[in-house]
Structure 1
């Protein structure tokens, strides 16, 4: 199903990749132990969701400088996802093979967010 697009941030490839990553984090974290639902599961899901939300919020700000700031916040949340996944593997919640794709997505997204933030800062 194709969704209508109404806002400029929805044209950004990094936004679509971050939505995909968030959905993948939900799927992977669904295999965590039940007693982690208020711990690492919740934290990882919030971090992954924060990436998409910060991109959207930043795009709605009045200046390129503000947008760049929110992109750096999104990048920080991307790092948080990568770190949380490493912890989940270390704790034995999921095998590393189950987190590899999300980790690669996080690396790609972080690089894209950095590049876009640099561009916006240069134009500000």
Structure 2
């Protein structure tokens, strides 16, 4: 069992979720129940699954939840790219968030290999 607050990957994923929430406030209101909702769920899923895995009793279970978190990070990355492609928010505002998302994916993979 790991203390989730001490995990750098969890800390960064919380920062990612917060940053995503601030960004999507700029999306058009007609996206409220579409892309906005989906992006929020993906962003929240990353730290949530890391936390759930950290609270489990075995490394195998932890790795499983890290895998789910990584899937959510890939999903979020895709959604952020779509926001750029649809020209809903300018690339220069979205790209740093995509880069943080990719950094978390790399950390996640390395952490899974370590467990």
Q: TM-score, normalised by structure 1?
A: 0.89
SS at match of 1:78: helix
Cα RMSD over matched residues? 0.9
Gapped runs of 5+ residues in structure 2? none
Q: Does 1:109 align with 2:110?
A: no
Residues matched between the structures, number: 114
**Greater Rg, structure 1 or structure 2?**
1
Conserved in 2, the CA contact under 8 Å of 1:69 and 1:117? no
Partner of 1:78: 73
| In structure 1, C-alpha distance between the alignment counterparts of 2:68 and 2:5, rounded to whole Å | 18
Displacement of 1:119 in angstroms is 1.3
SS at match of 1:80: helix
Displacement of 1:80 in angstroms is 0.9
Choose the corresponding residue for 1:8, options 3, 8, 28: 3
